[in-house]
Each structure stands twice: as C-alpha cells, then as structure tokens.
Amino acid sequence: MGVSTTKVVLLCLFLFLGMVLPGLLMQPEASLQVWDVLEGDFPNNSSSEEKLTFLLNYAILAPSNYNSQPWLFNVSDGEIQVLADKSAWLKVADADRREQYISLGCALENLIIAAEHFGYNCSVSYFPGPSDLMATVSLTAKSSSPSDSNSRLFYAITSRQTNRNPYEPKTISKADLETIKSLCIDPDVGVFITDDSAVKRSFQDLVVMADGILYSDVNYKSELGRWLGLGVMGPTGLQAKMAQLAVVFLDVGPEQTKKDAMLINSTPYIGFISTANNDSVSSVKAGRTLERFWLGATALGISLHPMSQALEAAETKENLTGLLPGSSEMRQVQQAFRLGYAKSTTEHSTRRPLQDVLIGE
C-alpha cells in the first residue's frame, strides 16, 4: 500500500514537473483587455499607418478555430497585408486548412467593417503573392462625409462570442431570419438555415459519428490537448493544463459525443455556409459571410455556435452535402453552425495582444 502511494505521488510529481510546469511557463501572453477597444480612441490626428494599425484592434476580435488566431498583419501606407500564421495551423483537425482560411476571412471581414466605419473605402486582392499572403487590402479615405451602412455590424464586433450553452426552443422571427440571411452578399457563397427536424437529426448523426472517429485518433486528441493546454480555448493556467491531460489520457469521447448530441437536439436552427468551389479563396469568402452572420445575429441578441466535427472527419464530411437543399448550386459545405437564443451568457475568450501579430516589412 505504502509503495503504491509512493508510486502515485512520484507519478503526479513527474507529470507536474515534466508536463504541467513547462506548459504553464510556455502559455502565450493572452489578453481580455482587447475587448475594451474604444471607437473614440481612433487616432484622428496621427499618421496613416497608425490609423490603419488601430483598425486591427477590431480584426483580432474575430473568431477562429480552436481560438488559434492564425493571422499576422503588415501595415504600410494605405495598405494592410493579412497573412496566415503557419505556426497556428491545426494540421490534424484542419488538414486542408479550410478552417484556417475561414478564420482569416472572419478577421478580414472585421477589418473591412471597421475600416468602412472609420471612413475608408476598401479594395481586396485575394492571394496576390506568396501562398501565406491571404489578402492585401488597399484603403483610401472616403472623400465625402462617411456613411456607414454596416454600423450595427461594427458595434457587434466587441460583443460577439461563441455561446456553447444549450439554446432555448424559441422561434426566431421571419424578419430577423431574413435580416441575417440578407447579410450574405457574396454571389460565390450560399447559406442554408433550417429548423427541419429531419435535417437536424441527420446532422446530429453525422456529428456523433465524427466525434467517435476523432476521439479515437490519438493524433487528434494530442493536437486538441496541446491547444487546450495553451490556455486559449476557455480554461487558462493550471485548469488548461488539466484539460489537456484529461483529453490526452482519459476517454473523453463518449461524454463529448453525448454533449454535442444534446446541443443539436435542443437547438431550434442549424445552418450551413457553402460554396461552389473547394479552394482557399472560397473558404476565405465563406469566413467573411460567417462573420457577417455572426455579427448580424449578435446585434439581434441571437447566438451562434460553429460545429466543425463533421467537417473534420473525411468519412462524414462528404455526407454533409446531402443535407443541403437539392436546388443549391453551392455543394461544398464550408461551415456548419447552431443558431438560437442561448439559455445563459458566457465569457469572452482571450486574444494575443495586437503587437504580437504585427510584422514589419
């Protein structure tokens, strides 16, 4: 008995010194203060570069897969380059980088909404150079006094969040659903939001199947664990390291599957964003639309929760297309999500401080 207690104590010490302590010391600097950005702090009397840099305070509040924040920015006079941060790529869960490009699209949309709010016209070139350069945004000050048709989206940037709580079985009014759908303004992107119980059940079956596949893949669990341990996905500090150990060493799959099934079951609407093509520009455009929806929903007090599991397992991904209406020409599902009124609120997640994602020329 004494020996096994000693062994347990030694094992705990080994885990703490070998995994938890170094992990704690290596957790990246993370900030919640980024959410307090104030419109009135726009540096009206400063250089063009400082003004454009200020806009990025809004870009970094975008959602991203695993809160990986896979963006870097290069600001010069009249231009912002948005680059993919290779170190933030989730090679197992997001092998084709679809989620990374969607996340970059979300950040790009926030940037453009903020730029237009502060009086700029924007023109975007997608992938104009090396593959990591996702977009170049050229910004010119509007000559006449700025009108901002997207101001409700701008003001929603600082309150948008992922709400993973159960949603109430409450109908969204036709007018509000139309308002959200009308935010899809890109002809290359399609959206399908439904409360059809047969579609919801089929989606639930695919998510359950995907969870089973993903949580029996040690590489998936170890990657998920690593990101949890970094403290960017909710729990921070020691709690984050404990969450990492639980995902890596315990069989958390069945519990997660049960939770996901319950969430879909209790959700009044599910939605899909799809495109005709399956390439990186399509994923960026899908991300821009996702963010517009999310901000539009936020402005109406409606929550959104992306659910990517069925897209992360090859076996279930192709079956998602079958859930889209037969008439849709956009057959590549880019993102699936829940939509509804959340039963309870949640906290903001942290971000890397702006100076950490700015690169010089």
Ligand X SMILES: Cc1cc2nc3c(=O)[nH]c(=O)nc-3n(C[C@H](O)[C@H](O)[C@H](O)COP(=O)(O)O)c2cc1C
Residues that bind ligand X (CB under 6 A): 63-67, 99, 102-103, 106, 161-162, 164, 233, 306-309, 335, 349
Centroid of chain to Cα 155: 18
Q: How far is the CB of 311 from ligand X (least distance, A)?
A: 8
Which amino acid is located at 323 in the chain?
L
Closest CB to ligand X among 99 and 223?
A: 99
Separation CA 282–CA 125 (nearest Å): 13
Q: If we measure between CA atoms, which residue out of 8, 21, 17 comes closest to residue 229?
A: 21
Q: Encoding tokens for residue 107?
A: 């950040």
Cα dihedral 130→133→134→140 (10° resolution): -120
Distances, alpha carbon 75 to alpha carbons 52, 104, 130, 145, 339, in Å: 7, 16, 17, 24, 35
Closest CB to ligand X among 190 and 306?
A: 306
Closest CB to ligand X among 139 and 233?
A: 233
Alpha-carbon torsion (95, 99, 105, 110), positive or negative: negative
Q: How far is the CB of 45 from ligand X (least distance, A)?
A: 31
CB atoms within 10 A of CB 346: 13
Closest CB to ligand X among 66 and 269?
A: 66
Q: How far is the CB of 137 from ligand X (least distance, A)?
A: 19
Q: Encoding tokens for residue 48?
A: 């063009």
Q: How far is the CB of 282 from ligand X (least distance, A)?
A: 13
Closest CB to ligand X among 75 and 107?
A: 107
| DSSP labels, 7-59 | HHHHHHHHHIIIIIHHHHHHPPP-BSGGGG--GGG--TTS-HHHHHHHHHHHH
Q: How far is the CB of 270 from ligand X (least distance, A)?
A: 13
Q: How far is the CB of 64 from ligand X (least distance, A)?
A: 5
Does residue 225 contact residue 248 with C-beta atoms inside 8 Å? yes
Q: How far is the CB of 233 from ligand X (least distance, A)?
A: 6
Does residue 333 contact residue 272 with C-beta atoms inside 8 Å? yes
Closest CB to ligand X among 67 and 139?
A: 67
Closest CB to ligand X among 139 and 156?
A: 156
Closest CB to ligand X among 101 and 120?
A: 101
Q: Backbone phi, then psi, for 304, in 5-degree steps?
A: -135, 140
Which residue number has the CB closest to ligand X?
Answer: 63
Q: What is the CA radius of gyration of the chain?
A: 21
- 């490009």: which residue's tokens? 101
Q: How far is the CB of 48 from ligand X (least distance, A)?
A: 29
Distances, alpha carbon 73 to alpha carbons 117, 182, 330, in Å: 20, 30, 31
Closest CB to ligand X among 248 and 313?
A: 313
Closest CB to ligand X among 48 and 202?
A: 202
| DSSP labels, 296-311 | HHHHTT-EEEE--HHH
Q: How far is the CB of 6 from ligand X (least distance, A)?
A: 40
Q: Encoding tokens for residue 135?
A: 């977009």
Q: How far is the CB of 211 from ligand X (least distance, A)?
A: 11
